[in-house]
Structures are given as C-alpha cells and as structure tokens.
Copies of this chain bind each other. A is one copy, B any other.
C-alpha cells in the first residue's frame, strides 16, 4: 500500500481545524464549494469539481477530537475504497494536521493528487490564519489535469 502524506502546522485551536473538516461550511472553505451531504459519522459527503464525472463521494467513518477518517465510496476508480485520514494534535504551540490518502498502486494520478492535496491543505491553513482558502472552483490549475 502506498500513501500520500502531508503535514501542516496551523495557528488555530484544534477545534477550529476540526470544524473545517466536519462541517459543510468548513469543507467549502478549502476543498470545494460544491460540497453536500451529511458530515456526521456514518453519513456520506459528496464533493464535486465541475464536470459530471469529477466528484468523489465519501463515507464518514470516524470523527474524534484527534482524527477524521473518510472512505471513498464513489468517484475516481483509483480512489474508491481508499481511506482519507486527518490526524490532529498539538506541537510547538500550533495545531498539527497530518493527512494520509491510501493508494493501491503509485499510478501517475497519485502524483497529481499528492501535489493538489498539498495545495488545498495549505489553503485550509490559510483559511484559519486570517487568509483565505483556495477551494474549487478558481483554485490553481497545477497541470492540464486540473
């Protein structure tokens, strides 16, 4: 198993980071404005990115003060069945977010998603530090793939 991994430190309380990960308004601040569904544990979230086949549906598997876990149930073939984990903790006076996204194989799409996740997570950080997130639409296009 391969994983995309990222880490950012955020100058905001852990509870505020959690809100960005567990509410529709919060998710719209940094990943995609076009988010809908039920953000509670056991619920499903739909994240859309424009075209009819540009979406991912996530089942919320876990929410604790320290961890949010989603599982993709529909969307890109390479994503379906994979886990998306946001682990939160405190270090050096900041809230540290560690992100992982599992992959069966390190296909080229994984390389793209790795860079794009970094971009969105840096937007999440900015959105909590007095700046603005950079969600879809209008986010940086890192290649012809989006």
Contacts and interface: CB of A to CB of B under 8 A. Distances in A.
Contact of A9 (B7, B114, B119, B143): B143
A4 interface: yes
A55 B44 CA distance: 45
Consensus secondary structure, chain A interface: mixed
Contacts of A92: 143-144
B144 A114 contact: no
Interface residues of A, number: 32
A8 interface: yes
A18 to B, nearest CB: 18
Interface in A116-142: 118-119, 121-122, 125, 140, 142
A106 interface: yes
Contacts of A111: 5-7, 98-99
A53 interface: no
A108 B87 CA distance: 12
A108 B142 contact: no
7 contacts: A5-B106, A5-B110, A6-B111, A7-B143, A8-B143, A115-B118, A115-B121
Interface of A: 2-9, 91-94, 96, 98-99, 106, 108, 110-112, 114-115, 118-119, 121-122, 125, 140, 142-145
